[in-house]
Structure 1
């Protein structure tokens, strides 16, 4: 899934709400289709409604933990075997489709070296993505 070894982010996610436990099943299913079985999810607490310390997804218990040091526009998922950790940009659910598309493109193209919040800000300032006149 990583596109560029110098990239900070391994992917992007656009949840439909700020309820982490409700949004995780779709994300974890998509990751499992890519052979990443998730055991824990770390997130910034200011971007999500309060969540418990654990949630059940597809019959498995997933540990949840919030850390104020995590970029509020990212989540970090750790695989069941502990070998893989993926850091994902989180596009806020109330942002529009065009912004989400630009943010995803920046991550996929490896233009995310300054982290999730900076990448999202760059996507919001789409002037750098436009063709020169």
Structure 2
């Protein structure tokens, strides 16, 4: 029996978990051009849910991202744009290129950054190893 002074039952207590943190590794800066600028290990293939965390985790010296293009068949259809932190980000999904999934982040007039996407279902030890190698050498190791 519950009395008016008893705390609520655990099932009735509202729980607010913090949003997931973006799992992102940026390659070390060098003067040599490279094909990939980093690795991103999203929690899901829901780009609309994942993109805000990804963009918030980018280095502070990167300009505002205005376009994002994901390549790969694991991504559902996307709207043409979304709002992230009050700014429009144009979205595009391509499926024609063979190879691993990537996301190309573009800042109009400032450049582009290409990130290899580690599939969300990748086992944690494998994904962590890939991210550590990217941080150390600037090159990913195969999944």
Structure 1, unmatched stretches of 5+, are 113-118, 125-133
For the 8 Å contact 1:41–1:62, the answer to whether it is kept is: yes
CA separation in 1, counterparts of 2:27 and 2:130?
A: 15
- What are the superposed Cα offsets for residues 20-51 of structure 1, whole Å, 9 maximum, x if unpaired? 11100001111263433100001114121221
The answer to which structure has the higher helix fraction is 1
Structure 1-normalised TM-score? 0.74
RMSD: 2.0
1:18 aligns with 2:34: no
Q: Does 1:101 align with 2:123?
A: no
- Give the TM-score taking structure 2 as reference length: 0.69
Residues 58-111 of structure 1: CA deviation (Å, up to 9, x unaligned): 1111000122345542100001x4222000011111112111112212322123
Larger radius of gyration: 2
Kindly indicate whether the alpha-carbon contact (under 8 Å) linking 1:32 and 1:38 is maintained by their aligned counterparts in 2.
no
| Relative contact order higher in (CA < 8 Å, ≥ 6 apart) | 1
Q: Where in structure 2 are the equivalents of 1:1-133 lying within 5 Å?
A: 2-3=27-28, 4=30, 5-31=32-58, 33-70=60-97, 71-79=99-107, 81-108=108-135, 109-112=137-140, 119=141, 122=142, 124=143
What are structure 2's unaligned runs of at least 5 residues?
1-25
Q: Which residue of 2 aligns with 1:131?
A: none
Size of the aligned set, in residue pairs, is 114
